[in-house]
């Protein structure tokens, strides 16, 4: 074990933060959840659409889901089960139900197209899926191409009390027409699965903390979706690392967490688990794009914690009424996913009285790597490594990853950020070569470029070379280019990210036409069929030729300044 006192960031830790954490306090995530449910019992755990699930009810419902999943034919411990839904009470019940049964969670963005969904289900080999009915049609289109044998469908209001449940489900399906007709023979409804599970005996499996808990998908620099194998120990370590960092004045059963970021995103999901340590009350926001509704919830709940990305903070600040919210109980605002812009951070401080604490992480690290201490004003950095975490910077002069290099040795040196700690993933699912390239001697090569000062403070200067970061979500040009290139009317194309005040970056596509009549609207319509919204090119430019190197590689930097034609 490394002697952590040697690292310069330790002396800059707040008094309440230890140099190391014990990642083996709990045996597994189900063990952690069961103990939290026992400790906090009737305290509210999650609220959605005005209805609340207590810690005791979370234990009861997730055990029913676990028993049901165990009873399904062909399901064996270690099999993957996908969850495809927004923030609803059904999400934590499904998540902990899958984990309790000894299965592996595969989080899927509910806005994925059929093409994207197919790729993730095929790669993970998921045998079951719990999916919101609004997007069941997406699954229906590819169900015969994947290995999913069991389908559980849920409606938005399924875990609400009878009058409200019936009203919301009817409104969305019959009035707003937000649930397209689908045909999934053999699918079972979520509430029926719980009823069946209630009649079944739950056989508690033996789960090792080194077992895989999540296949959490990330694009990677190649744009090919890869499943990061996150173990129970990885997540448990990270919830402790982040927990000791942020909790100096947290009080048990008193914290209210505004949960607007989608729980299928690793940042939000690990944060959720972390806050359960204090018996926090998490307010689940199903549609964070409804800023007016979100502001109403902020005003109603007098929240003490909020995690967000620059887009979310900026959206709230620009929504009428947010400046009138009572922020007297606000203790913590954490910014991640992409850098919080200085004007946003300064305006947030002026309105709420609290600084946004910038943090850094990536899927492969479960995700937390570093953060600024609480109440740190915006400084452009991502702070100090978390307890039990070592970070070093490696460049051309530092080929060997086996030894830590001190900030004094790499002063003024910018290079790749490399991380070692108990939160670092086991590797990529079924991708040994990619794993070997990414993890060397226990060091995770993040692909992010940055530097570290003599105090151990980390500053990111560039993200993975080609990656585009849209509102905290990774977008890889290769994937977008592959979709565009499959359009017969396109000869060739190049994709790049350009700065955007709202989302950090937006996707720009530079296209050479094969069919002279091709229009921007046709390209956008094609992309809508094949790409999630945040991956959509927001700027489309037609040119006569794409700038390339002598060996034919696209010069992406030149694409940023090309204006060309949009006709």
pLDDT band at 461 (very low <50, low <70, confident <90, very high): confident
Q: What is the DSSP string of 521-544?
A: HHHHHHHHHHS-GGGSEEEEEE-S
Q: Which residues pair with 371 in a beta bridge?
A: 359, 384
Contacts with 44 (C-beta within 8 Å, 6 or more apart), sequence order: 52, 53, 54, 281
Name the residue among 318, 312, 381, 308 with its Cα closest to residue 351. Answer: 318
Two domains, one topology: 55-207 and 468-561: no
pLDDT band at 492 (very low <50, low <70, confident <90, very high): confident
Give the model's pLDDT for residue 218.
87
Containing 240, the helix (H) or strand (E) segment is helix 232-246
Backbone angles phi, psi at 145, to 5 degrees: -105, -5
Give the model's pLDDT for residue 1.
42
The answer to whether the Cα torsion of 338, 342, 344, 348 is positive or negative is positive
Give the model's pLDDT for residue 310.
83
- What is the rounded distance in angstroms from the CA atom of residue 531 to the CA atom of residue 486? 13
pLDDT band at 220 (very low <50, low <70, confident <90, very high): very low
Question: Minimum mean pLDDT among 9-13, 288-292, 413-417, 419-423: which range?
Answer: 413-417
Task: Tell me the two tokens of residue 504.
Answer: 């950090």
Domain ranges within the chain, ordered by starting residue: 55-207, 468-561
- What is the rounded distance in angstroms from the CA atom of residue 214 to the CA atom of residue 263? 13
Per-residue pLDDT of 52-66, as tens digits, reads 999 999 999 999 999
pLDDT band at 422 (very low <50, low <70, confident <90, very high): very high
Per-residue pLDDT of 222-264, as tens digits, reads 456 899 999 999 999 999 999 999 988 999 999 999 999 999 9
How far are the Cα atoms of 139, 277, 385, 550 from residue 180, in angstroms, in the given order?
12, 39, 46, 50
Tokens 């530097």 locate to 451
Name the residue among 233, 267, 274, 270 with its Cα closest to residue 250. Answer: 274
Question: Minimum mean pLDDT among 173-182, 214-223, 431-440: which range?
Answer: 214-223
Contacts with 504 (C-beta within 8 Å, 6 or more apart), sequence order: 309, 310, 311, 338, 339, 341, 469, 470, 471, 472
pLDDT at 510 over 80: yes
Contacts with 32 (C-beta within 8 Å, 6 or more apart), sequence order: 26, 236, 239, 273, 276
More confident residue, 477 or 403: 477
- What is the rounded distance in angstroms from the CA atom of residue 385 to the CA atom of residue 286? 32
Name the H helices within 425-476.
432-438
State mean pLDDT over 425-436: 96
Contact criterion met (CB below 8 Å) for 110 and 240:
no
Question: Minimum mean pLDDT among 5-9, 124-128, 271-275, 296-300: which range?
Answer: 5-9
Per-residue pLDDT of 3-52, as tens digits, reads 788 899 999 999 999 999 999 999 999 999 999 999 999 999 999 999 99
Containing 556, the helix (H) or strand (E) segment is helix 556-561
**CATH number, span 468-561:** 3.30.300.30
How far are the Cα atoms of 37, 100, 525 from residue 57, in angstroms, in the given order?
8, 15, 44
Contact criterion met (CB below 8 Å) for 47 and 57:
no
Query: Cβ-count burial of 342 within 10 angstroms (0-12 exposed, 13-18 middle, 19+ buried)?
Result: exposed
Q: Which CATH number fits domain 55-207: 3.40.50.980, 3.40.630.30, 3.30.470.30, 3.10.180.10?
A: 3.40.50.980
More confident residue, 549 or 9: 9
State mean pLDDT over 502-524: 94
pLDDT band at 221 (very low <50, low <70, confident <90, very high): very low
Give the model's pLDDT for residue 450.
84
pLDDT at 444 over 60: yes
Give the model's pLDDT for residue 27.
97
pLDDT at 459 over 80: yes
Question: Minimum mean pLDDT among 78-82, 395-399, 432-436, 501-505: which range?
Answer: 395-399
pLDDT band at 416 (very low <50, low <70, confident <90, very high): confident
The per-residue pLDDT of the chain, averaged, comes to: 92
pLDDT at 393 over 80: yes
More confident residue, 255 or 567: 255
State mean pLDDT over 392-398: 69
Specify the 3-state DSSP secondary structure of 291. Answer: helix
Specify the 3-state DSSP secondary structure of 498. Answer: strand
State mean pLDDT over 307-332: 93
- What is the rounded distance in angstroms from the CA atom of residue 84 to the CA atom of residue 268? 15
């Amino acid at each position: 074990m490394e002697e952590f006192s040697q690292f310069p960031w330790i002396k800059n830790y707040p008094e309440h933060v230890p140099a190391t954490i014990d990642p083996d306090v709990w045996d597994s995530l189900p063990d952690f959840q069961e103990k939290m449910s026992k400790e906090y019992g009737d305290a509210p755990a999650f609220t959605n659409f005005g209805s609340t699930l207590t810690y005791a009810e979370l234990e009861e419902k997730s055990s029913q889901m676990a028993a049901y999943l165990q009873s399904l034919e062909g399901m064996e411990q270690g099999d993957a089960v996908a969850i495809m839904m927004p923030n609803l009470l059904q999400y934590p019940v499904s998540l902990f139900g899958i984990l309790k049964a000894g299965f592996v969670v595969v989080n899927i963005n509910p806005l994925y197209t059929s093409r994207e969904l197919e790729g993730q289900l095929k790669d993970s080999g998921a045998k079951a899926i719990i999916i919101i009915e609004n997007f069941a049609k997406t699954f229906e289109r590819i169900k015969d191409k994947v290995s999913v044998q069991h389908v559980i469908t849920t409606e938005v209001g399924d875990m609400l009390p009878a009058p409200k449940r019936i009203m919301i489900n009817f409104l969305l399906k019959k009035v707003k027409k937000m649930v397209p007709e689908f045909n999934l023979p053999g699918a079972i409804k979520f509430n029926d699965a719980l009823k069946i599970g209630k009649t079944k005996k739950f056989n508690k499996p033996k789960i090792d903390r080194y077992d895989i808990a999540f296949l959490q998908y990330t694009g990677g620099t190649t744009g090919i979706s890869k499943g990061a194998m996150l173990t129970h120990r990885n997540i448990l370590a990270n919830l402790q690392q982040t927990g000791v960092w942020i909790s100096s004045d947290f009080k048990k059963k008193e914290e209210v967490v505004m949960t607007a970021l989608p729980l299928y995103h690793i940042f939000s999901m690990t944060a959720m688990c972390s806050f359960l340590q204090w018996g926090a009350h998490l307010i689940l926001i199903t549609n964070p794009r409804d800023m007016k509704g979100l502001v109403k919830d902020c005003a109603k709940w007098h929240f003490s914690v909020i995690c967000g990305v620059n887009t979310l903070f900026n959206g709230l600040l620009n929504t009428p009424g947010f400046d009138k919210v009572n922020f007297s109980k606000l203790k913590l605002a954490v910014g991640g996913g992409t850098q919080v812009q200085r004007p946003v951070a300064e305006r947030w401080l002026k309105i709420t009285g609290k600084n946004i604490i910038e943090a850094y992480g990536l899927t492969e690290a479960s995700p937390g790597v570093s953060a600024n201490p609480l109440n740190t004003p915006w400084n452009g950095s991502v702070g100090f490594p978390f307890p039990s975490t070592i970070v070093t910077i490696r460049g051309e002069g530092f080929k060997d990853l086996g030894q830590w290099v001190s900030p004094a040795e790499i002063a003024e040196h910018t290079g790749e950020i490399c991380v070692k700690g108990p939160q670092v993933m086991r590797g990529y699912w079924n991708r040994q070569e990619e794993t070997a390239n990414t993890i060397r001697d226990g060091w995770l090569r993040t692909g992010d470029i940055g530097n570290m000062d003599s105090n151990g403070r980390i500053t990111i200067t560039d993200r993975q070379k080609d990656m585009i970061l849209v509102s905290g979500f990774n977008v890889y040009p290769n994937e977008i280019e592959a979709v565009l290139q499959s359009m017969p009317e396109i000869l060739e194309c190049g994709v790049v990210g350009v700065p955007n005040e709202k989302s950090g970056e937006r996707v720009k596509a530079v296209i050479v036409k094969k069919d002279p009549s091709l229009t921007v609207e046709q390209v956008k319509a094609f992309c809508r069929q094949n790409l999630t919204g945040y991956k959509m090119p927001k700027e489309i430019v037609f040119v006569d030729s794409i700038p390339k190197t002598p060996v034919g590689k696209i010069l992406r930097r030149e694409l940023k300044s090309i204006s060309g034609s949009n006709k």
